[in-house]
Amino acid sequence: RCDLRNTLRERLWLSGFCCGSPFGLSGKGHVYTVVGVSESRAFRVLWALEELDIPYEHRPSRPPTLDSRARDRANKAPVMIEDGETLTDPIAIVQYLADKHGGLTHPAGTLARLRQDSLTHLILEELEGPLWDAARHSVILPQILRSPSVFESLLWEYSRALQRISEKISPKAWLAGDRFTVPDIMLVHCILWASLADFPKPPASLAAYLLRVKGRDAFRRLIAKGSAQVGDCLLYTSLS
């Protein structure tokens, strides 16, 4: 295993931690403008837009020159601009798009939606949580507050949670049932993020699920556009 701290330092942008100087961004010309490199959590928003078949403008930017005043106070990317409004938090954005355009989600007020939202929160807390904590103790926190001793426990937490989540996926189905939904996008992106941070690989039980993901038209379109390329065809190799 390569050194986790060095790996995270080199690839921190995948978690969407960006900062920089504003240049102003109007978001005009398209209903939606997504700002942030596609290898970051912007991938979630871009993928959702592709799944919903909605035209958008993508303005990739990397630290330290995020080309927008549209960034939240924690300097996290991505952001999406709609009608001059700056929207932050990729999962909130993805769920908003799903609700607005009637895709990637079960209807609000149903038990199926309750189960879907439960999975979304589970992934946020138990998969993305360890990935963010590893990044914090690698490069985000002041040096004096970093604790290298947490890395082994974070690897264990992530691996255990991923195994639990994989057991919720039935053969030939998606995470929240027979419909591809928001938590599927979250799960796959966390697996990709983890692959760059030297976290444990997904269990063999997820192989068929990940192959189905690779076959989705929206996913293929996103790859064809050059989005989410880390090195040479990372998304394909990490989902093999």
Tell me the C-alpha to C-alpha distance, in Å, between residue 16 and each of 35, 44, 92, 102, 127: 11, 11, 15, 27, 15
pTM exceeds 0.85: no
Q: Residue 223's pLDDT band (boundaries 50, 70, 90)?
A: confident
Is 238 in contact with 197 (CB distance < 8 Å)?
A: no
Looking at the chain, the whole-number percentage of residues with pLDDT higher than 70 is 75
What pLDDT sits at residue 76?
60
Q: Given a cut of 60, is residue 231 above it in pLDDT? A: no
In degrees and rounded to multiples of 5, residue 202 shows phi and psi of -65, 150
95 sits in which H/E element: helix 90-101
Interatomic CA distance for residues 47 and 113, integer angstroms = 20
More confident site: 105 or 226: 105
CA proximity to 206, closest of 219, 196, 192: 192
